């Protein structure tokens, strides 16, 4: 990162206007232009610049009226100033000749200019910037730092640099076109490109690599051969990518992203075998999920790999250093952990950045940097993963071990009787069902029943009904008991992630339109875990919902991520945010994938240092 040579005053100025790189500065565009070229004939409802002579004045309590003679137009012009200040009266004296600037209109058959502004320089074009600094200061910064050479050094092409410069220093004709018609498509495409180019360079500047604590060369092949099923092509591909990471000189930093039920647990266990005999640790967001991962590890890992579960409930007093693979919840953060060569976080978006960093710190020692893998069953849009790949490496597991057979249907009040019959039919086949409510308690703000209002009906009409929700202290135990002996679970979205219920065939989501498509997909992913025929019913009071109908037509989590992005206009997926908190203004997450591909391709082909403004 090559800093420009700035004095302290300039550094402070750039800090004030939120500019950290040269391209940040280039993207700080004028909101308007002040054209002081003399106007040869009246341009109605537009800004005019005139040479005038004051003919007469008239003062009332609220209005200061001036009659100007405009020699070039051979006409008189009425000037109107509201709330006139003493300096107005000093400037506008009968007989004075001056240049004025303002919008000209017709009023009662006479030319008029409201709030005329005196200009001291004519035949100039002044860009106007909205910043905390004075406009002339910003212009001076632009003049000093923005030029063709500096923009080419940032990796822009000549035509892109020239277009950017023309926005800051347009001709009178260009300025008029920008003001009247906005930016053309070609200019907008340049702004989109420059913005995402700048963002990717910022991200790559944040990507930090460390020498790995150890090359992990454990052999995972006997473990894979011992499995009673064949791994999918995607699982094998991702394991190979992780293996390459483990054998490189730098510590791995990889996100493994899969769809619901894609079999990421086997990738986790294969990673443990590649790490062995070095120690590995895995943090999961809930006790239920930690338990399930522990059960799978005990079931499939060889006996010589000693595995331990650490949760608040299973707070083992054993010496953690005696184990090869430690699985736990955030309870791990409160234990004295052994030094580990591999750190894994499951459903990583459920933990805060600080929690994830703390886990890494707890298993590290000075200059010891473990390999770090994050797992998620919540796919994100392609554009987002392409952007974030400047920061971390990505792997994708799209193939499912069991093809999902789930019918998704949008239902309403009129379908309730048929739903009850379907629930009874599934329960008769020893299958389980979940009803997801939007709230625990009644609320006037939500036009749907809560758990408290609805549970009585289900408990009266069905046997084996269990109820739980997020703040229920016993929810982990209730979910465990339901898995073994329940028919119907009444719950909130607490069941969204992780819980494995092999006999679950129906999920009913009440007020489905209130949830994001990613959450709906996670909930739907609870059914048909082992290829069982599944049903997802989206209950809504809306007469029609295109979003829910489109959701019901696909089971592909990656397609749903794209749908979610389109319906949110890309706004709140990552808040379209750059790390400094600024939003992407020009680049559109939904429609500009080709521009993103070009930016990534060009940056990879010609990596350049980003010109930081040292703030």
pLDDT digits (tens, 9 = 90+) for 359-418: 666 655 556 788 989 898 777 766 676 666 666 788 888 887 877 788 999 999 899 999
Which DSSP symbol is given to 583? B
Q: What is the pTM of this model?
A: 0.67
Q: Inform me whether the pLDDT recorded for 582 exceeds 60.
A: no
CA distance 316 to 324: 15
CA end-to-end distance (rounded Å), the chain: 13
Indicate the average pLDDT of the chain. 84
CA distance 251 to 371: 5
Write the pLDDT tens digit of every residue in 417-440: 999 999 999 999 999 999 998 887
Q: Inform me whether the pLDDT recorded for 255 exceeds 60.
A: yes
CA neighbor of 433 nearest in space, from 487, 499, 485: 487
Instruction: Specify the pLDDT at position 167.
Output: 93
CA distance 164 to 78: 39
Which DSSP symbol is given to 555? -
- Over pLDDT 90: what percentage of the chain? 40
Instruction: Specify the pLDDT at position 588.
Output: 77
Q: Check if the beta carbon of residue 112 is closer than 8 Å to that of residue 45.
A: no
Instruction: Specify the pLDDT at position 224.
Output: 95
Mean pLDDT of 341-358: 72
Q: Do domains 37-118 and 221-397 have the same CATH topology?
A: no
CA distance 463 to 487: 7
The answer for residues whose C-beta is within 8 angstroms of residue 85's C-beta and 6 or more apart is none
221-397: CATH, from 3.40.1710.10, 3.40.50.150, 3.90.1300.10, 3.40.50.300? 3.40.50.300
Confidence of residue 1 (pLDDT cuts 50, 70, 90): very low
Confidence of residue 231 (pLDDT cuts 50, 70, 90): very high
Instruction: Specify the pLDDT at position 239.
Output: 96
Confidence of residue 572 (pLDDT cuts 50, 70, 90): very low
Mean pLDDT of 258-269: 87
Confidence of residue 454 (pLDDT cuts 50, 70, 90): confident
Write the pLDDT tens digit of every residue in 129-187: 999 999 999 999 999 999 999 999 998 999 999 999 999 999 878 887 787 778 889 99
Q: What is the length of the chain?
A: 615
112 DSSP β-pair partners: 78, 105
Q: Which helix (H) or strand (E) holds 313?
A: none
Confidence of residue 578 (pLDDT cuts 50, 70, 90): very low
Q: Inform me whether the pLDDT recorded for 293 exceeds 60.
A: yes
Mean pLDDT of 25-54: 90
Mean pLDDT of 82-88: 89
The answer for residues whose C-beta is within 8 angstroms of residue 134's C-beta and 6 or more apart is none
Write the pLDDT tens digit of every residue in 10-22: 889 999 998 888 9
> Furthest-apart CA pair in the chain: how many Å?
103
Q: Considering only residues 442 and 296, tell me which one the structure prediction assigns the higher pLDDT.
A: 296
Reduce the DSSP state of residue 78 to 3 states and report it: strand
Strands (DSSP E) contained in 379-441 are 393-397, 406-411, 432-436
Q: Considering only residues 112 and 545, tell me which one the structure prediction assigns the higher pLDDT.
A: 112
From 27-31, 382-386, 529-533, the region with the lowest mean pLDDT = 382-386
Q: Inform me whether the pLDDT recorded for 473 exceeds 80.
A: no
Reduce the DSSP state of residue 80 to 3 states and report it: strand
Mean pLDDT of 564-590: 55
Burial label for 42, CB within 10 Å (0-12, 13-18, 19+), is middle
So where are the chain's domains?
2-30+130-202, 37-118, 221-397, 406-554
Q: Check if the beta carbon of residue 288 is closer than 8 Å to that of residue 499.
A: yes
CATH class, range 406-554: alpha beta
CA distance 4 to 541: 59
Instruction: Specify the pLDDT at position 408.
Output: 93
| CA neighbours closer than 13 Å in the CB half-sphere of residue 61 | 0
Instruction: Specify the pLDDT at position 356.
Output: 59
Range with top average pLDDT, 81-90, 174-183, 389-398, 496-505: 81-90
- The CATH number of the structural domain formed by 37-118 is 2.40.50.140
Range with top average pLDDT, 63-67, 320-324, 364-368, 484-488: 63-67
From 65-79, 143-157, 209-223, the region with the lowest mean pLDDT = 209-223
From 325-329, 341-345, 385-389, the region with the lowest mean pLDDT = 385-389
CA neighbor of 437 nearest in space, from 454, 423, 422, 425: 454
Instruction: Specify the pLDDT at position 316.
Output: 65
């Amino acid at each position: 990162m090559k800093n420009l040579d700035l004095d302290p005053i300039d550094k402070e100025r750039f800090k004030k206007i939120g500019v950290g790189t040269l391209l940040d500065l280039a993207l700080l565009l004028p909101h308007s232009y002040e054209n002081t070229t003399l106007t040869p004939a009246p341009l109605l409802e537009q800004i005019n610049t005139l040479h005038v002579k004051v003919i007469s004045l008239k003062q009332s309590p609220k209005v200061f009226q001036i009659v100007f003679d405009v020699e070039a137009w051979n006409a008189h012009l009425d000037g109107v100033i509201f709330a006139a200040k003493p300096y107005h009266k000093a400037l506008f004296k009968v007989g004075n000749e001056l240049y004025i600037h303002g919008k000209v209109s017709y009023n009662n058959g006479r030319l008029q200019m409201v709030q005329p502004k005196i200009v001291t320089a004519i035949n100039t074009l002044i860009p106007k910037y909205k910043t905390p600094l004075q406009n002339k200061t910003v212009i001076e910064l632009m003049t000093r730092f923005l030029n063709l050479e500096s923009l080419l050094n940032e990796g822009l092409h000549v035509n892109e640099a020239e277009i950017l410069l023309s926005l800051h220093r347009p001709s009178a004709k260009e300025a008029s076109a920008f003001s009247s018609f906005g930016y053309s498509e070609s200019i907008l495409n340049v702004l989109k490109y420059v913005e995402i180019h700048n963002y990717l360079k910022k991200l790559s500047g944040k990507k930090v690599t460390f020498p790995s604590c150890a090359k992990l060369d454990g052999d995972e092949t006997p473990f894979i051969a011992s499995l009673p099923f064949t791994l999918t092509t995607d699982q094998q591909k991702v394991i190979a990518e992780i293996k390459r990471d483990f054998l490189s000189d730098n510590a791995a930093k990889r996100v493994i992203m899969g769809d619901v039920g894609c079999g990421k647990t086997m990738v986790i266990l294969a990673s443990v075998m590649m790490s062995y005999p070095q120690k590995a640790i895995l943090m999961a967001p809930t006790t239920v999920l930690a338990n399930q991962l522990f059960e799978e590890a005990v079931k499939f890992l060889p006996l010589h790999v000693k595995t331990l579960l650490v949760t608040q409930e299973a707070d083992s007093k054993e010496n953690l250093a005696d184990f090869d693979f430690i699985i736990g919840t955030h309870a791990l953060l409160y234990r004295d952990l052994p030094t580990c060569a591999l750190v894994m976080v499951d459903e990583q978006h459920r933990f805060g950045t600080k929690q994830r960093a703390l886990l890494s710190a707890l298993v590290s020692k000075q200059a010891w940097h473990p390999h770090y893998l994050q797992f998620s069953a919540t796919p994100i849009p392609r554009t987002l993963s392409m952007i974030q790949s400047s920061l971390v490496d990505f792997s994708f597991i799209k193939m499912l071990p069991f093809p999902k057979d789930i019918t998704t249907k949008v239902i309403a009040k009129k379908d309730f009787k048929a739903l009850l019959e379907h629930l009874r039919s599934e329960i008769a086949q020893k299958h389980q069902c979940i009803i997801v409510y939007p709230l625990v308690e009644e609320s006037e703000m939500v036009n749907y029943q809560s758990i408290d209002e609805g549970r009585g009906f289900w408990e009266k009409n069905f046997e084996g009904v269990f109820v739980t929700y997020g703040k229920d202290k016993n929810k982990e135990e209730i979910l465990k008991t339901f898995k073994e002996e329940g028919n119907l679970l009444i719950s909130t979205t607490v069941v969204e992630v992780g819980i494995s219920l092999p006999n679950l065939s129906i999920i009913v989501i009440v007020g489905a339109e209130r949830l994001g498509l990613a959450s709906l997909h996670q909930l739907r992913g609870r059914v048909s875990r082992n290829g069982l025929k599944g049903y997802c019913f989206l209950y809504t009071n809306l007469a029609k919902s295109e979003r829910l109908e489109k959701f019901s037509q696909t089971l592909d989590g990656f397609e749903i991520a794209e749908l979610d992005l389109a319906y949110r206009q890309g706004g709140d997926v990552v808040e379209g945010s750059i790390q400094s908190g600024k939003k992407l203004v020009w680049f559109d997450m939904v429609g500009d994938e080709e521009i993103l591909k070009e930016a990534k391709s060009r940056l990879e082909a010609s990596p350049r240092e980003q010109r930081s403004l040292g703030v």
